[in-house]
Amino acid sequence: MEERILEVRDVVKRFGGLVAVDHVSMDVYRGEVLGLIGPNGAGKTTLFNVITGIYKPEEGTVRFKGMDITGLPPHQVAKLGIARTFQLVRPLKNFTVLENVVVGALQKSPNLGDAVEKSLEILELVGLYEKRNVASGSLTLVEKKRLEVARALALEPELLLLDEVAAGLRPKEVDALVDMLREINKRGITMIMVEHVMRAVMNLSHRIVVLHHGRKIAEGTPQEVANNPQVIEAYLGTGVE
Amino acid sequence: MRTGWSEIARQALSLPVLVAAFLLVVTPFGLYLADLPFIANMMFLSLMYAIAAMAWNLLMGYTGQLSIGHAVFFGVGAYTTMILVVYYDVTPWIGMFVAGAVAALVGLGLGVPFFRLRSHWFTLATIAAGEIFKLVFNNWEYVGSSAGLQMKIVPEGKALYYLQYAASYVYIYVALLVLAIELVVLYRIVTSREGFYLQAIREDELAAKTLGINTFKYKMMAMGISAFFTGMAGALYAVRYHFVEPAAVFDVITVSTYIAVAGIIGGIYHFAGPIIGSFIFLPAAEYVRVTIVARFPRLFGLHVFVLGVVLLVVSLFAPDGILGWMEKRGYIRRRRVIEV
């Protein structure tokens, strides 16, 4: 088998009485795109927050490249090579598009000139080069989503967590985004994508993990998951007798 | 990324800066020759508040942390200078820098618990800190409790050592010296990688964290430097008036709030905003206080009411401060960290 880049073991995250993530385990292999799907409130974003150090899990461990990173603060997780985007975009509004990306790029650059050069390349890749000197607060939603990806890429991550990057986009925009993400994956970046837009997940993912009420209920190729009766039930409910 | 000395020299030698510096250096002596002590005092106060407001703005305008408790650092700085000179005979020339250092330590000490709080909760904690420090100093016998500490009058030959001069313009030059040091330090910080990170924290702290920035570390750095120079402003107060008392140096209105208002009126998103704000707000405040108190001696506090109205008008018509308003009109532009 290939190298496991991320190992999630028996992770539990509670909020008061609510168990948001309930003994979830999963592996992510280097180079793959793993889709993480499930109905609203399934615990997908919470799991992202546990992996990236925003939440500390009550139980379980997260290992990245064999190293235990459970409970490390977010900035350390980011420096180790795990970057993420946010479902609700969080651009640094008064910064220009370029400045947003440079913040990330500076982490791995010896000086500003180097960081700017790298950032401009990334902006070219995500199609925001022309907008580089625009205040990021004035971008459209599609552009803000692309900026989220650009900023994450600037950290030169080995693992990229995408939280609903396709949500709210029109079908054509989704296709363009999928092309872009495939290109990024080809460059050797492993991805986990939380996504409701099936057109995006089914197209990109090598494997899919399904969460429901905080539990993992299925795992497999897109076809296997799409035909899994438990998954269908989770999404559509049980049929009328 | 850090600005080199040549760049600082280039900025410092630009025409508007030179003109402003020339006026600042010539004016005090002119005021002395023209015998205008009231105006000289206004100028000293403006400079003292400019130093504190510039320091305050490193936290507010650059890092996004609103403090209404900078009286803590101002007061600690004033008392440190006074204790050193009264009890240990240490010259204020050294005492001022020790005052900054002690204030910085207090700032770092408060930063550890306070930076666990966000936005308005942080602000509330700073207000509380100011009041707590005032209470403690009011009841601390070593520092003279509520009566405060007073510097003894020294013979003229020792004026330089104790920084005691009858002519107030001397203190203006001391304040100018401190402001000059502060401007160089702050300019280097805000144009560095660290300054860029501070602004990222201001924009969105969680996003900054996930971009690999240790936000706690950088907020502590901003707090330490901010407290240092606010402490030095407090030291200038002690040096200038030879007297400190808790009610004056830990005051939530005339210290904590005035510092913030000066910064806001000038414009928190511009480097020089707090200086401009101080030179407008402090003379206005002093003028209003003196004339109104003289005309309506029985209506205690009326001047604060008038200042409140002034602040309200500025907030309504120039919410981003005077420099923000000028930027919107296209008279000036904000300096971007990166332009390609």
Question: Which of 202-231 (B) contact A at CB < 8 A?
Answer: 203-204, 206-215
Residue-wise pLDDT tens digits, B31-44? 888 888 888 899 99
Helices (H), A95-190: 97-105, 112-126, 141-154, 171-186
Question: In this structure, are residues A96 and A133 in contact, taking their beta carbons and an 8 Å threshold?
Answer: yes
pLDDT at B137: 96
- Any A CB within 8 A of B7 CB: no
Same domain membership, residue A238 and residue A164 = yes
Whether residue B2 is predicted with pLDDT greater than 60 in this model: the reply is: no
Closest-CA residue of A relative to B212 is A75
Question: What type of residue sits at position B246?
Answer: P
The answer to whether B196 contacts A103, with C-beta atoms less than 8 Å apart, is yes
Distances (CA, A) of B235 to A63, B48, B76, B92, B104: 52, 9, 8, 8, 13
Same domain membership, residue A76 and residue A94 = no
Helices (H), B145-204: 159-162, 169-190, 193-203
- Number of A/B CB contacts below 8 angstroms equals 84
The answer to whether A103 contacts B211, with C-beta atoms less than 8 Å apart, is yes
Question: Which of 139-198 (B) contact A at CB < 8 A?
Answer: 193, 196-197
Of A52, A92, A106, the CB nearest to B204: A92
pLDDT at B49: 98
CATH assignment, B5-252: 1.10.3470
Where does a domain end: A156, A171, A197? A156
Q: What is the pTM of this model?
A: 0.90
Same domain membership, residue A152 and residue A171 = no
pLDDT at B251: 94
> How far apart (Å, rounded) are the C-alpha atoms in residues A178 and A195?
12
pLDDT at B339: 66
Same domain membership, residue A6 and residue A63 = yes
> How far apart (Å, rounded) are the C-alpha atoms in residues A98 and B40?
47
Same domain membership, residue A208 and residue A231 = yes
User: B76-85, B310-319, B328-337: lowest mean pLDDT where?
Assistant: B328-337
- The ipTM (two decimal places) reads 0.90
Residue-wise pLDDT tens digits, B122-166? 999 999 999 999 999 999 999 988 999 998 888 888 888 888 887
Q: Is A177 left (phi over 0), alpha (psi -120 to 50) or beta?
A: alpha
The list of chain A residues with pLDDT below 70 reads 1, 238-241
Neighbours of B251 (CB within 10 A): 18
Same domain membership, residue A194 and residue A143 = no
Residue range(s) defining the domain that contains residue A197: 1-81+158-241
Same domain membership, residue A162 and residue A74 = yes
> How far apart (Å, rounded) are the C-alpha atoms in residues B317 and B329?
13
Same domain membership, residue A64 and residue A18 = yes
Question: How many domains does chain A fold into?
Answer: 2
Residue-wise pLDDT tens digits, A221-230? 999 988 888 8
pLDDT at A158: 96
> How far apart (Å, rounded) are the C-alpha atoms in residues A158 and A81?
5
pLDDT at A1: 53
Residue-wise pLDDT tens digits, B236-293? 999 999 999 999 999 998 999 999 999 999 999 999 999 999 999 999 888 888 888 8
pLDDT at A240: 61
pLDDT-derived band at B337, boundaries 50, 70, 90: low
Q: What value does the mean pLDDT of chain B take? A: 90
Distance between alpha carbon A149 and the CA centroid of its chain, in Å?
9
The distance in angstroms from the start CA to the end CA of chain B is 15
List the CATH number of the domain containing A181. 3.40.50.300
